[in-house]
């Protein structure tokens, strides 16, 4: 397999956030697999469960862990009639999973020119890439404010909530203890359940009527704000239109922009 485009790795453990719906899994990491925070990997499985054959089904998953951390961690929703995620949910510690040697993705800080405020806006498992960014010291020292907005349907879908809240309280250094660090704001938003101190609404509605800025206490100023969008295609399409009206744009032809986005289910 040394000449393959992928490596065979082993599942270490699985955490269920919402039984049958949301899970995280940690897997071994090839020592030569390197990535930038915010990127994703292609995970592969054979077409037939338990078969010792080549992987033929591939799906993209962002790394949850930072580049320097081992093992690799991934966060997934289970699509009941899907070809891949139900199989992923059935894996047990010791089972094999395959990982493409090449990382991909555009949710990386090098897409931006320097800015003051970093907005990380995501729905569902689109949170994954942001968790990797927030475990990398460069993210914390590159901005004054970080605003993490996580849209879900119900409160029990707020995976990693305790960890994020800890970061809000401690502003971790992740190896750069002496450098000034950003202040993190965490805005969990549910569409089908009222949360304390949080409106029950779609993220795009809050973006359009200005309530998202009010909640964060930060204005969406294209001169100072850098925005990442990650989640379902409808949210990305609607949010991009709204933000383009405010002066936000994806970089083109080597020119860095103030908006980066990635579809993620």
Per-residue pLDDT of the chain (265 residues; tens, 9 = 90+): 556 899 999 999 999 999 999 999 999 999 999 999 999 999 999 988 776 788 999 999 999 999 999 999 999 999 999 999 999 999 999 999 999 999 999 899 999 999 999 999 999 999 999 999 999 999 999 999 999 999 999 999 999 999 999 999 887 766 666 667 889 999 999 999 989 989 999 999 999 999 999 999 999 999 999 999 999 999 999 999 999 999 999 988 778 999 999 986 5
The CATH number for 109-263, chosen from 3.50.50.60, 2.40.50.140, 3.40.50.80, 3.40.50.720, is 3.40.50.80
pLDDT reported for residue 178? 67
pLDDT reported for residue 253? 73
Beta bridge partners of 186: 148
pLDDT reported for residue 254? 77
Outline where the chain has alpha helix (H). 85-90, 127-134, 137-142, 161-170, 203-209, 211-216, 233-244
The Cα angle at residue 249 between residues 245 and 254, in degrees rounded to 5: 160
**How far are the Cα atoms of 75, 91, 96, 109 from residue 26, in angstroms, in the given order?**
9, 11, 12, 25
Q: Report the alpha-carbon distance of residue 136 to residue 182 in Å, rounded.
A: 12
Cis peptide before 71 (omega within 30 of 0): yes
pLDDT reported for residue 180? 76
Q: Report the alpha-carbon distance of residue 109 to residue 106 in Å, rounded.
A: 9
Where are the domain boundaries for CATH 3.40.50.80 in the chain? 109-263
pLDDT reported for residue 170? 85
pLDDT reported for residue 175? 60
The Cα angle at residue 230 between residues 226 and 232, in degrees rounded to 5: 145
Where are the domain boundaries for CATH 2.40.30.10 in the chain? 6-100
CATH of domain 6-100: 2.40.30.10
């Amino acid at each position: 397999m040394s000449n393959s485009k992928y490596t065979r790795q082993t599942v270490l453990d699985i955490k269920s956030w919402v039984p049958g719906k949301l899970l995280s899994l940690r897997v071994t990491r090839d020592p030569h697999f390197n990535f930038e925070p915010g990127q994703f990997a292609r995970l592969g499985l054979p077409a037939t469960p338990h078969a010792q054959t080549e992987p033929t089904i591939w799906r993209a998953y962002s790394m949850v862990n930072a580049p320097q951390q081992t093992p690799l961690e991934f966060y997934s929703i289970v699509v009941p009639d899907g070809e891949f995620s139900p199989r992923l949910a059935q894996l047990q510690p010791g089972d094999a999973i395959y990982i493409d040697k090449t990382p991909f993705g555009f949710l990386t800080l090098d897409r931006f020119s320097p800015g003051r405020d970093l907005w990380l806006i995501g729905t569902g498992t689109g949170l994954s890439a942001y968790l990797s960014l927030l475990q990398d010291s460069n993210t914390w020292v590159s901005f004054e404010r970080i605003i993490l907005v996580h849209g879900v349907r119900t409160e029990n879908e707020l995976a990693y909530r305790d960890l994020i809240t800890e970061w809000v309280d401690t502003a971790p250094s992740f190896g750069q203890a002496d450098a000034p660090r950003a202040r993190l704001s965490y805005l969990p938003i549910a569409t089908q359940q009222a949360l304390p101190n949080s409106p029950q609404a779609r993220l795009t509605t809050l973006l359009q009527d200005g309530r998202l800025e009010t909640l964060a206490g930060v204005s969406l100023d294209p001169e100072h704000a850098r925005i990442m969008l990650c989640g379902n295609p409808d949210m990305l399409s609607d949010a991009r239109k709204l933000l383009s009206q405010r002066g936000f744009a994806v970089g083109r032809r080597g020119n860095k922009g103030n908006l980066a986005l990635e579809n993620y289910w």
